[in-house]
Amino acid sequence: MMSRRRLHDGFVILLILGLGLAATPVRADDWQALADAIGRVGELRDGVYRVGFPRTDLRVSVGAITIRTGLALGGWAAFVRDGDRTVVDGDFVLLPGEINRVISVLQQHGLEITALHNHLVGESPQVMYLHFFAIGDGVSLARALRAAVAETATPPAASAPPAPSEPPAWARAFEQSLGHTGAVRAGVLSIGVARPEEIRAHGAVLPPAMGMGHAINVQESEGGRVAATGDFVLTEDEVSTVLRELRAGDVGVTAIHNHLLHGTPSLVFMHFWATGEPARVGGALRQALARAGTR
């Protein structure tokens, strides 16, 4: 008999890439031209075609913890249809020396730079996150992103993303304490929680899989402990309350900033970093989630 976990994986597998619903087979007539243009195969979930740019070339650490790629080094672009147009948003994980070359290429192709900032604190080497947005012809946008990636040391695309695995004990303990489940790939548990309202930028609807939901990534560290990072997507009225809950739970706040321009509602993204026993870290984040908008 198929396990409950395997049945649930069809629902949560997108959480490793963002947020969404059960997988829909990629239709070549919909997305193949875009995949060819960007030079990478993506995954279609809930109408969103999402392509990864993992920085597997980087060895980044925070203190004694070496960060797995899926924890905080996974750049991405998400595409969705809007009538006869295509909407794209996402972010690149960049070394400081790559930033301005990438900005110039994106601007040359008409993409909007919506944010440049940190997600982590105290990491070595330093990495920055460049967020972008555009509406237009999907193939042209894909070509622009491919040209931007060529300005970085991002490795060529793998033939396929890592396959999901059964969660180890630390992941199950974290899920239970958080009250939400996710998917484990390449040693990283990824959990996403959608917000309740419709989110738009420049009038276009951005589904949760386009980075518009609370995201929590977790990996095991030494001694049965875990390291967790990610961000909460908050209305302005939620910021102070969630911040207070995180600090009360000994969760470090690493950044508070925007990812969007001309967004409706106006949203603030709060990034965090926490280490400790899985149940304790999950419980602290659960308290913060209770103060944030969720479905």
Residue 243: band (very low, low, confident or very high) from pLDDT cuts 50, 70, 90? very high
Give the mean model confidence (pLDDT) for residues 247-251. Answer: 98
Q: Which of 3-12, 96-105, 106-115, 157-166 has the lowest mean pLDDT?
A: 3-12
d(CA 185, CA 146): 25
pLDDT of residue 162: 73
d(CA 184, CA 16): 7
pLDDT of residue 159: 67
Kindly report, residue by residue over 69-83, the tens digit of the pLDDT. Answer: 999 999 999 999 999
The pLDDT mean for the chain works out to: 91
- The CATH architecture one would assign to domain 17-149 is Alpha-Beta Complex (3.90)
pLDDT of residue 94: 98
Residue 165: band (very low, low, confident or very high) from pLDDT cuts 50, 70, 90? confident
> What is the percentage of the chain residues whose pLDDT exceeds 70?
89
Kindly report, residue by residue over 187-241, the tens digit of the pLDDT. Answer: 999 999 999 999 999 999 999 999 999 999 999 999 999 999 999 999 999 999 9
Kindly report, residue by residue over 57-70, the tens digit of the pLDDT. Answer: 999 999 999 999 99
Residue 8 has pLDDT above 50, yes or no: no
Per domain, the residue ranges of the chain are 17-149, 164-289
